[in-house]
């Protein structure tokens, strides 16, 4: 038989392909995956749990916290509570406390059940840092967030700067604030308008911190109290709800709105002149500061800390800059 | 393409088969691999979920057993509690998530931590029970229940998360699989079309030459060697057969030609032989005829010589002369028949014959004259060309004539032809007889001569062409026989002595 090299090559090719296929077949025989202990090496297991009503905001807070935590070997667990009800929220908090995590960053309602959980955490020596709002009146709790008095005061100043004539004001205060914080907000506000005769607080409304209920309340107010010409909100959702109703009722030019918190929608309203201005914090900075505080607590470098986040007044002049700076999720 | 065409059929077939097999094998393997991956994933997920659920159930069972023990202090319950405790102890650290994601891993860490605390708390409850500290064990038990609730909740959460993630991945893989299946379907259809096309092409490529070969073979078997050589475009086995066939046809054609040539040659030889035999026959016929007329030549000669001497002795000069002439005639007749003679000699013989005739019938009865042109005198003619004709003229023409019969022999040259006329004023012939003579038919009746046919034949043999014999005759008006021969001088054509 004459030696035909082409035949040889073809046969070899076939054998090669066959063996490759067999190899593939056996090499991809999957075994159950067991993550090696080294694949997730971390120093601290922290949890961030927040009542996530404004996803935009909290994504950036998380990013800020993660950025600081990464360099310190922190594995940050985040509870995505967008669709969770209060019970699940509570359950999660309870679970992480029972799991004896290394630290908790939380922004939770100040109800009694949460209070007791936070106390339990403290008893179990789990460092806790409350974020954003002063919902707890616990003396032992560290806090990084908005100083209520400061917010109230600044809101008042902004209002007095915004209105030039006699104005009756309705003030929306979030019920989730702890009692003391509630009072301090009002104190701050009153302090600011104290010397301004034109501005008068007509109504104080307790809000739930939900946009829809704020809309409802606003409608009622404007219907029953047509003399109201300014509305001040301490919560981002209240701000949104109020603005929507004012637009719907076509009373943008008549009513001055001073709010809190910055979202793309609010930024839009500010640009359009619906909202006069808002006070907001830098979410990234909030997360970063919160994480640093927690780390210090964990490392026993401090026992209790409090950090009042700087508030920025965002109005038509600077809304673009602020939007670009810290509303883009990196 | 050229290289492919010149490969042997075996290589072509094997290559094609290998390529198709490879393609199919690959498609099948990838499809199988994808399906296997998918199944493995689902398998892993479900196994993991089952493990988690079993763990959760164990935790529940432990709590139940503990509760029952705390209530009833039943040692069986205690044993059950310890049993579940051991199981949980053994398995909880081996729990793993399905996906390598930090969230799942941390959640699992939470579960593990809670389990540790849970077991610790349960043990404390048991110890408190043993110490009969009801408040403490009650408290501990409430904690145990709390841990249980949270552990179960965490496990459920983990299972749901894993299910969600895997569902997404499953859909991804499933879509990929569907895409792959569609792709392999297209591939199969394409490969089918290609392989059918290639199969048809290859088989045509095989069968066409074979068919042409068969047709050519049939043509050859029908003795049609004019077919053109079959084209050879490939280098495979078909080409070998085709070339061999072409060679075979060429060889057969060549052999055929050779055989034909040989046969022609043989035919010509046979013809020649036949001619020779015929001539021999003719000669023998002539000889026979001439011999027939002789009884014993020597006896006759001697007798005639004796007669001549006797006549001389008896002073019978005429008789002597007559017998001498007869002897002369006889002698001439006995000459070798194959040797040609000159016209002059033949004429002389004819005159001797005439002398004899005059003596027999009387000078008044017949008159004979022989006139030979000088140029024609030395032309060669076969022996006994004139005599038979003159005999005919005598027998059929003038023998029974009432009036004086006349025979005139005239010979002259016309260019290269020798013309000899023998005319008589005899009875002539009717049309029928004339026709018969012309067609060489044997005439009934008295014939002792060689005949015109013989003359014709011998002239053909001797001179290369048969002499033209023109016969002019009319009933009662006489006959004129003209011989038209080629004029051949002495020493010209002559045939070799043909001996039997």
Q: Is A30 on the interface with B (CB under 8 A)?
A: yes
Give B78 to chain A, closest Cα distance, Å: 25
Q: How far is CA B303 from the centre of its chain?
A: 81
Residues A157 and A162: their CA atoms lie apart, in Å, by 8
Rounded alpha-carbon distances, angstroms, from residue A23 to A16, A19, A265, B29, B196: 10, 6, 57, 11, 31
Supply the pLDDT for residue B149: 92
Q: Judge if A298 and A256 occupy the same domain.
A: no
Task: Tell me if A258 is assigned to some domain.
Answer: yes
Task: Out of B25, B96, B113, name the one closest to residue A21 (CB).
Answer: B25
Closest-CA residue to A233 (of A253, A254, A203, A264): A203
Question: What pTM, to 2 d.p., does this model score?
Answer: 0.58
Sheet holding A142-145, edge to edge: A74-79, A44-50, A103-107, A128-132, A142-145, A306-308
pLDDT, tens only, A65-111: 999 988 888 999 888 666 667 788 888 889 999 999 999 998 877 77
Task: Tell me if A75 is assigned to some domain.
Answer: yes
Q: What's the residue count for chain B?
A: 500
Where do the domains of chain B lie? 2-212, 339-500
Q: Judge if A265 and A294 occupy the same domain.
A: no
Task: Tell me the average pLDDT across B119-138.
Answer: 88
Task: Tell me if A302 is assigned to some domain.
Answer: yes
B485 neighbors B420 (Cβ within 8 angstroms): yes
Task: Tell me the average pLDDT across B33-39.
Answer: 78
Q: Going by C-beta distance under 8 Å and a sequence separation of 6 or more, which residues neighbour residue A225?
A: A168, A170, A202, A203
Supply the pLDDT for residue A328: 44
B307 neighbors B291 (Cβ within 8 angstroms): no
Closest-CA residue to A305 (of A67, A142, A188, A168): A142
Residues B344 and B352: their CA atoms lie apart, in Å, by 12
Higher-scoring residue by pLDDT: B458, A21: B458
pLDDT, tens only, B406-430: 889 999 988 888 899 999 888 888 8
Query: Looking at the domain that runs over B2-212, which CATH code has it been given?
Result: 1.20.120.1730
Task: Tell me the average pLDDT across A145-154.
Answer: 91
Query: Which contiguous run of DSSP H or E holds residue B419?
Result: strand B417-424
B-proximal residues of A, 251-310, CB under 8 Å: none
pLDDT band at B152; cut points 50, 70, 90: very high
User: Scanning the structure block, which residue is given the tokens 């709790």?
Assistant: A141
pLDDT, tens only, B371-408: 998 888 888 888 888 888 888 888 888 777 777 888 89
Chain B hits for A40, CB-CB cut-off 8 Å, are 102, 105
Closest-CA residue to B329 (of B361, B293, B364): B293
Residue B118 pLDDT exceeds 80: yes
Q: Judge if A168 and A271 occupy the same domain.
A: yes
Supply the pLDDT for residue A46: 92
Task: Tell me if A26 is assigned to some domain.
Answer: no
Q: Which domain holds residue A78?
A: 41-145+283-310
Supply the pLDDT for residue B498: 36
A279 neighbors A308 (Cβ within 8 angstroms): no
Cβ burial, residue A56 (10 Å; 0-12/13-18/19+): middle
Give me the interface pTM, i.e. the ipTM. Answer: 0.78
Q: Judge if A139 and A103 occupy the same domain.
A: yes
Interchain pair A95, B146: CB under 8 A: no
Q: Judge if A134 and A233 occupy the same domain.
A: no
B41 neighbors B166 (Cβ within 8 angstroms): yes
Task: Tell me if A35 is assigned to some domain.
Answer: no
**For the residues of B242-287, what is the DSSP string, one character each?**
HHHHHHHHHHHHHHHHHHHHHHHHHHHHHHHHHHHHHHHHHHHHHH
Q: How many domains does chain A have?
A: 2
A103 neighbors A127 (Cβ within 8 angstroms): yes
Give the rounded percent of residues in chain B with a pLDDT score beyond 70. Answer: 91
Q: Judge if A254 and A154 occupy the same domain.
A: yes
Residues B173 and B38: their CA atoms lie apart, in Å, by 7
Q: Judge if A181 and A126 occupy the same domain.
A: no
- Give the mean pLDDT of chain B: 82
Task: Tell me the average pLDDT across A257-267.
Answer: 88
pLDDT band at A325; cut points 50, 70, 90: low
Last residue of a domain, one of A280, A302, A320: A280
B423 neighbors B481 (Cβ within 8 angstroms): yes
Task: Tell me if A6 is assigned to some domain.
Answer: no
Q: Domain B339-500: state its class.
A: alpha beta
CB burial string B172-182: b at 16+ within 10 A, e below: ebeeebeebee
Q: Is A77 on the interface with B (CB under 8 A)?
A: yes
Task: Tell me if A199 is assigned to some domain.
Answer: yes
pLDDT, tens only, B323-354: 899 989 888 888 888 788 888 899 999 889 88
Q: How far is CA A73 from the centre of its chain?
A: 23
Q: Is A45 on the interface with B (CB under 8 A)?
A: yes
Task: Tell me if A271 is assigned to some domain.
Answer: yes
Across A159-168, B58-67, B382-391, which has the greatest mean pLDDT? Answer: B58-67
Q: Judge if A67 and A136 occupy the same domain.
A: yes
Give A21 to chain B, closest Cα distance, Å: 7
Task: Tell me the average pLDDT across B288-309.
Answer: 76
Q: Judge if A198 and A106 occupy the same domain.
A: no
Cβ burial, residue B271 (10 Å; 0-12/13-18/19+): exposed
Supply the pLDDT for residue A294: 92
Chain B hits for A100, CB-CB cut-off 8 Å, are 113, 117
Token digits of residue B360 = 């027999």
Torsion angle of C-alpha atoms A224, A229, A230, A236, degrees rounded to 10: 50
| Interface mutation target, options A2, A19, A32, chain B, most CBs of B under 10 Å | A32
pLDDT, tens only, B251-274: 888 998 999 999 999 999 999 999
Q: Among A1-10, A250-259, B219-228, which stretch is predicted with the lowest mean pLDDT? A: A1-10
B355 neighbors B348 (Cβ within 8 angstroms): no
Supply the pLDDT for residue B497: 40
Residue B290 pLDDT exceeds 80: no
Supply the pLDDT for residue B450: 54
State the CATH number of the domain containing residue A174. 3.40.50.2300
Q: Judge if A183 and A225 occupy the same domain.
A: yes
């Amino acid at each position: 038989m004459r030696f035909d090299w082409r035949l040889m090559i073809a046969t070899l090719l076939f054998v090669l392909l066959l063996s490759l296929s067999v190899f593939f077949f056996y090499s991809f025989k999957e075994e159950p995956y067991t993550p090696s202990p080294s694949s997730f090496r971390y120093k601290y297991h922290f949890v961030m749990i927040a009542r996530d009503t404004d996803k935009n905001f909290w994504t950036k807070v998380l990013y800020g916290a993660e950025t600081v935590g990464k360099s310190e070997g922190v594995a940050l667990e985040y509870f995505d509570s967008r669709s969770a009800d209060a019970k699940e929220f509570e359950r999660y908090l309870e679970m992480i406390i029972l799991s004896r995590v290394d630290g908790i960053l939380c922004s939770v309602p100040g109800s009694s059940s949460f209070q007791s959980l936070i106390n339990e955490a403290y008893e179990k020596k789990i460092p806790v840092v409350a974020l954003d709002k002063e919902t707890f009146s616990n003396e032992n709790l560290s806090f990084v967030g908005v100083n209520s008095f400061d917010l109230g005061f600044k809101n008042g100043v902004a209002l007095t700067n915004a209105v030039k004539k006699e104005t009756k004001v309705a003030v929306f205060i979030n019920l989730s604030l702890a009692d003391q914080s509630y009072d301090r907000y009002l104190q701050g506000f009153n302090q600011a308008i104290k010397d301004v005769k034109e501005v008068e607080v007509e109504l104080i409304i307790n809000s739930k911190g939900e946009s829809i209920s704020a809309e409802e309340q606003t409608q009622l107010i404007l219907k029953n109290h047509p003399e109201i010409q300014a509305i001040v909100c301490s919560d981002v959702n209240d701000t949104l709800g109020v603005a929507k109703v004012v637009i719907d009722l076509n009373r943008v030019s008549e009513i001055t709105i001073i709010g809190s918190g910055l979202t793309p929608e609010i930024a839009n309203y500010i640009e359009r002149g619906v909202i006069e201005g808002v006070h907001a914090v830098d979410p990234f900075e909030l997360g970063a500061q919160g994480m640093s505080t927690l780390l210090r607590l964990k490392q026993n470098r401090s026992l209790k800390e409090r950090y009042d986040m700087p508030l920025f007044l965002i109005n038509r002049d600077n809304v673009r800059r602020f939007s670009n700076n810290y509303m883009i999720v990196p | 393409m050229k290289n492919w065409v010149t490969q042997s059929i075996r290589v072509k077939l094997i290559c094609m088969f290998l390529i198709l097999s490879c393609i199919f094998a690959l498609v099948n393997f990838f499809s199988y691999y994808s399906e296997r991956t998918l199944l493995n994933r689902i398998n892993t997920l479900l196994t993991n979920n089952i493990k988690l659920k079993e763990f959760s159930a164990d935790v529940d069972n432990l709590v139940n057993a503990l509760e029952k023990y705390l209530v009833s202090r039943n040692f069986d319950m205690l044993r059950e509690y310890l049993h579940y405790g051991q199981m949980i102890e053994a398995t909880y650290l081996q729990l793993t998530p399905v996906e390598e994601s930090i969230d799942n891993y941390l959640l699992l860490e939470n579960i593990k931590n809670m389990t540790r605390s849970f077991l610790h708390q349960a043990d404390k409850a048991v110890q408190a029970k043993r110490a009969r500290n009801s408040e403490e064990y009650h408290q501990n038990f409430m904690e145990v229940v709390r841990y249980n609730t949270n552990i179960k909740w965490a496990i459920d959460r983990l299972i749901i998360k894993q299910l969600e993630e895997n569902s997404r991945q499953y859909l991804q893989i499933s879509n990929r699989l569907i895409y792959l299946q569609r792709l392999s379907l297209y591939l199969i259809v394409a490969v089918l079309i290609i392989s059918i096309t290639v199969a048809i092409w290859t088989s045509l490529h095989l069968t066409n030459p074979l068919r042409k070969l068969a047709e050519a073979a049939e043509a050859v078997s029908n003795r049609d060697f004019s077919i053109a050589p079959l084209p050879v475009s490939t280098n495979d086995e078909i080409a070998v057969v085709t070339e061999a066939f072409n060679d075979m046809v060429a060889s057969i054609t060549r052999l055929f030609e050779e055989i034909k040539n040989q046969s022609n040659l043989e035919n010509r030889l046979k013809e020649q032989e036949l001619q020779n035999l015929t001539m021999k026959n003719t000669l023998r016929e002539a000889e026979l005829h001439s011999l027939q007329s002789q009884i014993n030549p020597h006896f006759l000669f001697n007798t005639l010589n004796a007669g001549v001497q006797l006549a001389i002795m008896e002073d019978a000069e005429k008789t002597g002369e007559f017998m001498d002439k007869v002897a002369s005639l006889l002698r001439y007749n006995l000459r070798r028949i194959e040797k040609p003679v000159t016209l002059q000699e033949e004429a002389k013989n004819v005159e001797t014959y005439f002398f004899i005739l005059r003596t027999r019938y009387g000078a008044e009865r017949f008159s004979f004259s022989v006139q030979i042109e000088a140029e024609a005198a030395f032309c060669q003619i076969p022996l006994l060309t004139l005599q038979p004709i003159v005999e005919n003229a005598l027998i059929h023409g003038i023998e029974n004539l009432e009036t004086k019969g006349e025979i005139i022999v005239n010979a002259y040259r016309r260019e290269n032809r020798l013309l000899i006329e023998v005319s008589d004023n005899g009875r002539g012939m009717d049309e029928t007889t004339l026709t018969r003579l012309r067609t060489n038919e044997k005439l009934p009746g008295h014939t002792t001569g060689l005949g015109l046919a013989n003359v014709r034949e011998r002239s053909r043999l001797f001179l290369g062409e048969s002499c033209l014999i023109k016969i002019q005759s009319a009933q009662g008006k006489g006959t004129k026989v003209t011989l038209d021969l080629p004029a051949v001088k002495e020493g010209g054509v002559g045939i070799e002595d043909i001996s039997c």
